[in-house]
Structures are given as C-alpha cells and as structure tokens.
Amino acid sequence: MGSDCLTPEWASQPCLIGIDEAGRGPVLGPMVYGCMYCPVSYQSSLASLHFADSKTLKEEKREELYENLKLDNSLGWAVDVIDPRELSAKMLAKNKTNLNEISHNSAMGLIKRVLDMGFFLTEAYLDTVGDPEKYRIKLSERFASIKFVVSKKADSLFPIVSGASIVAKVTRDRALREWLVEEIGEDINRNFGSGYPGDPETKAWLVQHKHSVFGFPSLVRFSWGTCTALLKGEVEVAWEADETEESGNGSSSKRQAKLSSFGFKTCESRSEEIESSGKGRCKFFQTRKIQQLTQF
C-alpha cells in the first residue's frame, strides 16, 4: 500500500525519507510503519504543509493532512501493516523475534521498497527504536549510500518524519475501524477503547471476549503481558510437539498416541453422526466450520 506505482521525474534527484510507526504499544490491532519521501530540494517546503507529530493532532486534522499529502506530486508515501497475529507468532515462536527487531525489519523493508522503485535516497530520518546510535549503525551497514539520522522524538523534530507519522497513524486508525472480525459466530463488539493495556475500557473488552481455551479474537496480540495475565488459571493446553521435544523418543510416543486418539471414536456410528452434523461441538469450531478428521 502506498502512493501510485508510477515513478515521478524527481525520483532520480537526491531524495530524503522519513519513517515512523503507529500502534507499537497497544494490545489490539496492527502495528503500522509509515514512510514519506520527497526530493531534498523540496525539504524547505515541508514546513508550510503544517505536519506535526500525529499524536498531537486531532483525528480530523490528521485525516485532512493525510489527504493533502496524497495529492502533493512532490511527495511519496508507503506503509507496512503488521497484523497482530504476525506480531504474536514472531514474539512467541521457538526462535523468538522481539518487537524492536520486528520494528527494525519493517523500517528497513520500507527503505528497500522505495529504493527498488527507483528513488535515489541519500538521506533518511527515523524515530529511534532502542539505542539511537546502535540503530543508526545497523541501518548504515545495510544501506551504506544513505546518510541516517536516528533520534528520539524525530516525529517532532523533522517534518518528513512528522508526515510519516501521520501516514502511519491514519492507516492504523482506518484499519481498526474497518477491521474484518473473522470470528463471525462470536458476539464481538468494537467498544475496545484506545487499545492500550492501561485503558480500563480495553481491559474490560479483553475480559469480555476471553475464551477459556482459545484465548482472544485475532484482533488481539497474544504475546502482550496483559493477555498472559488474563489467561492465568484458564485451561492449560499440552502441545504434542513440545512433549516430543521434552521427552525424547521414549515416553513421547505414548503421549503422542494419547493426544492423537483423544476424541476420535471412529467405531461408533452415533459419534460420527454428531460430528458430521456439528451438534454438541464447541462454538469455536462450529463458527469456523472446522471438521474433525477420523482418517489420515
């Protein structure tokens, strides 16, 4: 997602890019990285566009500025929308990727995308994630031809980053408003507040939509500590793969057989009838039309 794919004439001129994110802290919804880029010769004109840190602007003003920058032929923009399920999967995987690393990879992915479109990037301005100098060195090693400025509060210091902040924030806000709730069979409302862990309305929403076995809807980042705390005392799930790794080839085979045969009564026609009809099954499986396999 981004500005038109047609490369403008100014792409061959020295260009600068600003990068910022929205939604790093919330327990709900995607994290969005946004970038804005333009010719270095246009940099002095950015101040007249009245960009500012998106967090300091009202929603109506952010929307107005976003629509304006889309119409400016001297500006380009792009976003990377990172799904909450992707965030959770990477942070909870066996070989974990922490949030800082995910953020770095997203920012570098945006830079690469703009370079691949044929833009001559010579300067880049980023709001820091972690130690500013270490982040700058990491970026410089990946893109040696670009001069990097990495700073705290960069969205307040550099208009090009302020513009990127607006792009990211508006994109995330729209994504939340238009989020397609996949759990269509569940009674899910959208009154989830700001989405931040400390918001009482968000906490109440999480409690209301918590399932004792399956956790939370796909809108929620399972890897956040808020979710871990809320799921304490709920049903504990034993994963076959974990048992195999911990037990070795000896006792794990018995455990595997136990897990594999649990709930599979293939010899009884009555149970087959119930299974095929979906009656008596958990609502979670019914709404997703997940069927039980009796033969592999």
Residues annotated within the binding site for a divalent metal cation are 20-21, 127
Considering only CA atoms, give the Rg of the chain: 24
Residues contacting 50, CB < 8 A, separation 6+: 65
7 DSSP assignment:
P
What residues are designated binding site? 20-21, 127
260 DSSP assignment:
H
The three-point CA angle 221-225-227 to 5° equals 55
**Cα separation of 15 and 260, whole Å?**
58
Q: Three-class SS of residue 128?
A: coil
Residues contacting 289, CB < 8 A, separation 6+: none
**Cα separation of 90 and 35, whole Å?**
23
Q: Three-class SS of residue 16?
A: strand
Helices (H) and strands (E) in the chain — how many of each? 11, 5
- CB-based burial of residue 23 (10 Å sphere; 0-12 exposed, 13-18 middle, 19+ buried)? buried
